[in-house]
Amino acid sequence: MGNDLIISLCLVLVAVSATAAVAVREPVRQALVLAVLGLALAALFTVLQAPDVALSQLAVGSVLTPLMILLSVRKVRRRGHPAAGDGAKR
């Protein structure tokens, strides 16, 4: 009975964070919400007694994917604004 409650709570947390990840429009905030979603999924996998999957989810879903998104957004934003000395040479 108690385990079912924890699983249900984790599933609700996953559903809420996944919905928030879709609803957020700004890429930086979306990356942070994806990190929270990864943590929620890792908690769910831990409760479901899959610690190896939970560790993989922590590494990939909570750290690497949001980090790659943030780095990509940073690089795209840099390319969108040329430096002051570049002018119209391109």
Gap between the terminal Cα atoms of the chain = 66
Confidence check: pLDDT of 87 > 60: no
**pLDDT tens digits, 12-55:** 999 999 999 999 999 999 999 999 999 999 999 999 999 999 99
Nearest to 63 by CA among 31, 25, 17: 31
- Residue 84: predicted pLDDT: 55
Quote the percentage of the chain above a pLDDT of 90. Answer: 77
With the C-alpha atoms ordered 55, 58, 61, 65, is the resulting torsion angle positive or negative? negative
Q: What does the alpha-carbon distance between residue 51 and residue 45 come to, in Å, rounded to a whole number?
A: 7
pTM summary value: 0.80
Distance CA 90, CA 82 (A): 10
